[in-house]
Amino acid sequence: MDLEIAGRKAIICAASKGSGRACAMSLGREGVELVINSRTAADLEATAEEIRKDSGAKVTTVACNITTAEGQAMVLKACPDPDILVNNAGGPPPGDFRDWDRDVWIAAVDANMLTPIFLIKATIDGMIERKFGRIVNITSSTVKSPIDVLGLSNGARAGLTGFVAGLARKTVQHNVTINGLLPGPFDTDRLRTNLRKAADRVGATYDEMYAKRAADNPAKRVGDPYEFGETCAFLCGKHAGFINGQNLVMDGGSFNSTM
Ligand code: NAP
């Protein structure tokens, strides 16, 4: 299926690894011109080179912390008029809310709520003028189904989700959609790090924890980032213009509900 977005421009945040990288790979294969970002320049450049080799896409790298105003300005300078914006950043750490002071909360809200909102603010009017825009916020299945130790993530991402729910209803008449993609367990560095920590906590091996995580899922496996990237690309495609204000959980059906 041709998504009919070849030649469009995209910003993909936090894209040297994991889900962000997969979204960039898939959009690159659709002929989209990419600006990708992450903090570690060497990893980012290596990913850019892989994408260029894979699809021949034009890829510009901006090594910076996207959760800072300076980082956001650098990315926007490299691509002031994107047609596609994929918001992403590292997730906040797990813990007990009794240990989180104001600074910890502000960091989580900055990274997982305000950063996407400010990037949307900087780019959405241009999308509206050009009558095409696709914004995908990578959040988490915890937005719909909270995990107690991930309170920072549950809270900050729910704030973003609530805000864009209202905005999306105003922009879709201009063919500018905003949707959330909510990953459950995907086989990325973040999942592997979390599984290693969980294994240490309960005295199990990493392989045992990985097998348990897979077995606990209705699909009997964890997600492949490729699946995530292709879904993101579909939401960014021309034909997805009537999908708006949705929060698509990609978790193999773990979240148990009828709808
Ligand atoms: P990942 O494999 O650890 O990759 C994270 C990427 O983000 C890396 O490229 C990293 O590069 C970049 N990054 C992190 N913080 C950044 C920052 N402040 N500025 C710019 N780039 C930054 O993670 P992932 O699994 O793809 O997760 C992506 C998002 O989905 C996270 O918010 C995560 O919490 C959420 N999520 C993931 C899962 C899962 O199972 N994988 C489940 C639920 C939710 P640098 O470190 O070099 O910056």
What residue spans of the chain are helical by DSSP H? 18-29, 41-55, 69-78, 102-109, 115-130, 151-171, 189-202, 206-216, 225-235
- Rounded to the nearest 5 degrees, what angle is found at the Cα of 79, between the Cα atoms of 77 and 84? 145
Distances (CA, A) of 207 to 17, 216, 239: 21, 14, 41
Distances (CA, A) of 139 to 41, 88, 142, 238: 24, 7, 8, 22
Residue 83: what pLDDT?
Answer: 99
Mean pLDDT of 123-138: 98
CA of 173 to the centre of ligand 1 (A): 32
Contact between 44 and 16 under an 8 Å Cβ cutoff? The reply is: yes
Q: Residue 183 — φ and ψ, nearest 5°?
A: -70, 140
Q: Quick: pLDDT tens for 46-101.
A: 999 999 999 999 999 999 999 999 999 999 999 999 999 999 999 999 899 999 99
* CA 225 – CA 142 distance, rounded (Å): 18
Residue 259: what pLDDT?
Answer: 87
Contact between 137 and 180 under an 8 Å Cβ cutoff? The reply is: yes
Does the beta carbon of 22 sit less than 6 angstroms from any atom of ligand 1?
no
The answer to whether residue 189 scores a pLDDT higher than 90 is yes
Residue 106: what pLDDT?
Answer: 97
CA of 89 to the centre of ligand 1 (A): 5
DSSP code for 224:
P
Does the beta carbon of 65 sit less than 6 angstroms from any atom of ligand 1?
yes
Q: Please, which pLDDT band fits residue 230 given cuts at 50, 70 and 90?
A: very high
| Among the ranges given (9-13, 27-31, 51-55, 191-195), the one the predictor scored with the smallest mean pLDDT | 191-195
Mean pLDDT of 190-216: 94
Mean pLDDT of 210-224: 97
Nearest to 20 by CA among 58, 57, 55, 48: 48
Contact between 120 and 87 under an 8 Å Cβ cutoff? The reply is: yes
CA of 170 to the centre of ligand 1 (A): 29
pLDDT > 70 in the chain, percent: 100
For 118-128, b/e burial (b = at least 16 CB within 10 A) is bbbebbbeebb
CA of 129 to the centre of ligand 1 (A): 31
Q: Quick: pLDDT tens for 139-169.
A: 999 999 999 999 999 999 999 999 999 999 9
DSSP code for 90:
P
Residue 85: what pLDDT?
Answer: 99
pLDDT > 90 in the chain, percent: 97
